[in-house]
């Protein structure tokens, strides 16, 4: 007959094979779970200023232009939570084209949503969390600018993917001189 260690090895091997098959099934079927989140982003105001000092060691930032956005977000993302969703990562990007670079994408706001209670976003007259600054230090030749709300569901098991939800046009005005 078999000794104890051989039996334990057989049971462990069967259990690991079964768990691996279950994990593969979970990771393959999770993207097909239906979800219908509602979302809306409204842009209220865009102001561009120059001369704002961000980093004392960065002398170029003193003459650069910065855009400050004011926007509303209405989103109900509770349907994106299922048994394999650990959290949602929501963020807004500003996408635009400039002469030196074909594609520019800057994250201007983000939020980590850990449960269904936090998944109902109602933000009014909210400002960008991160600076919107072009590499060329000016927004003079910027074209085709858009704001896009992205949602990344972070699963317990499986691959993480990006869902662009809504895109709205963004017009960046001429800069005003900042008052010292």
Query: Greater confidence, 161 or 88?
Result: 88
**Spatial separation of the C-alpha atoms in residues 44 and 39, rounded to whole Å:** 16
Q: Please, what is the average pLDDT of the chain?
A: 84
**Spatial separation of the C-alpha atoms in residues 106 and 134, rounded to whole Å:** 9
Kindly state the percentage of the chain with pLDDT values over 70. Answer: 88
Whether residue 178 has pLDDT greater than 60: no
Which DSSP letter does residue 20 get?
H
User: Which among 29-43, 56-70, 85-99 has the top mean pLDDT?
Assistant: 85-99
Whether residue 54 has pLDDT greater than 80: no
120, two tokens: 């109902």
Per-residue model confidence (pLDDT) at position 4: 92
Per-residue model confidence (pLDDT) at position 173: 76
Phi first, then psi, for residue 82 (nearest 5°) are -140, -170
Q: Which of 147, 124, 161 is nearest to 35 (CA)?
A: 161
Confidence of residue 113 (pLDDT cuts 50, 70, 90): very high
DSSP tally for the chain: helices H, then strands E: 1, 8
Confidence of residue 98 (pLDDT cuts 50, 70, 90): confident
Per-residue model confidence (pLDDT) at position 42: 82
- Range from 12-21, 96-105, 112-121 carrying the lowest mean pLDDT: 96-105
Whether residue 50 has pLDDT greater than 80: no
> What distance lies between CA 59 and its chain's CA centroid?
30
Q: What share of the chain is helix, strand, coil (3-state, %, to 5)?
A: 20, 45, 35
Q: Are 97 and 143 in contact (CB under 8 A)?
A: yes
116, two tokens: 């269904």
């Amino acid at each position: 007959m078999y000794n104890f260690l051989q039996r334990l090895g057989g049971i462990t091997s069967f259990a690991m094979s079964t768990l691996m098959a279950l994990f593969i099934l979970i990771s393959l079927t999770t993207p097909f779970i239906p979800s219908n989140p509602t979302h809306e982003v409204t842009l209220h105001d865009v102001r561009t200023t120059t001369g704002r000092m961000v980093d004392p060691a960065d002398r170029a930032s003193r003459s650069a232009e910065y855009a400050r956005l004011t926007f509303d977000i209405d989103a109900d993302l509770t349907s994106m939570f299922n048994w394999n969703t650990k959290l949602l990562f929501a963020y807004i990007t500003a996408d635009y084209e400039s002469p030196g670079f074909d594609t520019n994408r800057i994250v201007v706001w983000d939020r980590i949503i850990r449960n269904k209670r936090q998944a109902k976003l109602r933000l009014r007259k909210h400002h960008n969390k991160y600076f919107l600054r072009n590499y060329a230090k000016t927004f003079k030749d910027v074209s085709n600018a858009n704001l896009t709300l992205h949602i990344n569901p972070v699963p317990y098991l499986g691959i993480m993917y990006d869902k662009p939800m809504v895109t709205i046009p963004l017009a960046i005005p001429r800069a005003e001189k900042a008052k010292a």
